[in-house]
Amino acid sequence: MVAAFLLGVGQVFFDPAAQSAIPDFVSRDPRNLATANGRIVAAESNGEDFVGPPVGSALFGVWNFLPFAGNALSFAASGLLILSIRTDAKPKETSEGPRTSARSDIVEGIRWLFGNRTLRALPTVSCLGNVAATAQFAMLALLAKEVLGLPDFGFGLLLTATAVGATAGGLAAAAASRRFGPGTVMLAGKGGVGAAILVLGLVDNAWVAAA
């Protein structure tokens, strides 16, 4: 539980920092950002859902220590890749303003966040989406084992099924956003996920659940 808590705390810092750094590397052009974000989602889905679960299940069957060792090595590799980023790629300061404390910066940021309608909506959507996704994955192992009757490696394959749609959606996100607008695409995506989770809880067929 301590290890899981520390991992979650670290992710809270890492994910926003990684997302915030994207415009510094691909420019702030909306088309480039949409393409980059779509490819990142596709890569994450392939690693976390397509490749990771079946490999992790297979390694766990050989020795339950191996998936954790592999995951630890992946974090080490991630850290080395971050260290390899050129220091001159960091955004340069445009003005020399008065130095402020971290507390005042946080207060200013929160005040600005609540004053911006768009940014106020995005954390709300993300929060509700995380609650739904966490609840879903917390129950998925029980669903796979007790309701769908899948063997141990079947749970990994069930997770892999989620990567198929996520990869396709991630690669198509840029084109879809240009055609229908990012708001429409996000709304349709969230609605589709909600419907899929609802169906997932009502079926007892593994093929339907995977679809």
Query: What pLDDT score does 162 carry?
Result: 76
Residues in the chain: 211
More confident residue, 51 or 106: 106
Question: Which residue has tokens 């009757």?
Answer: 149
Tokens of 78: 């991630």
The 3 state secondary structure assigned to 127-150 is HHHHHHHHHHHHHHHHHHHHHCCC
Over range 67-79, report the average pLDDT.
Answer: 89
Query: What pLDDT score does 73 carry?
Result: 92
> Is 80 exceeded by the pLDDT of residue 54?
no
User: Cα torsion for 16, 158, 4, 21, to the nearest 10°?
Assistant: -10
> Is 70 exceeded by the pLDDT of residue 90?
no
Q: Which own/partner pairs from 50-58 qualify as long-range (CB within 8 Å, at least 24 positions apart)?
A: 50/160, 50/163, 50/164, 50/167, 52/159, 53/155, 53/156, 53/157, 53/158, 53/159, 53/160, 54/153, 54/156, 54/157, 54/160, 55/156, 56/156, 57/152, 57/153, 57/155, 57/156, 58/153, 58/156
pLDDT digits (tens, 9 = 90+) for 143-173: 888 898 888 777 777 777 777 777 777 778 7
More confident residue, 5 or 94: 5
Write the DSSP assignment of 1-49 as a string of letters.
-HHHHHHHHHHHHHHHHHHHHHHHHH-S-HHHHHHHHHHHHHHHHIIII
Q: Which amino acid is at 164?
A: V
Residue 39: which pLDDT band, with cuts at 50, 70 and 90? Answer: confident
Residue 38: which pLDDT band, with cuts at 50, 70 and 90? Answer: confident
Over range 123-128, report the average pLDDT.
Answer: 83
> Is 60 exceeded by the pLDDT of residue 89?
no
> Is 70 exceeded by the pLDDT of residue 96?
no
pTM: 0.53
Q: For residue 33, give every residue at least 6 positions away whose Cβ sits within 8 Å of its Cβ, in sequence order, or none.
A: 22, 23, 26, 27
Q: Mean pLDDT over all residues of the chain? A: 82
Query: What pLDDT score does 95 carry?
Result: 55
Query: What pLDDT score does 88 carry?
Result: 67
Query: What pLDDT score does 101 carry?
Result: 81
Residue 49: which pLDDT band, with cuts at 50, 70 and 90? Answer: low
Nearest to 37 by CA among 165, 172, 163: 172
> Is 70 exceeded by the pLDDT of residue 121?
yes
Query: What pLDDT score does 135 carry?
Result: 86
Q: Do the beta carbons of residue 159 and residue 57 sit within 8 Å? A: no
Within its chain, how far is the Cα of 131 from the centroid?
A: 13
pLDDT digits (tens, 9 = 90+) for 195-204: 988 898 899 8
Write the DSSP assignment of 181-196 as a string of letters.
-HHHHHHHHHHHHHHH
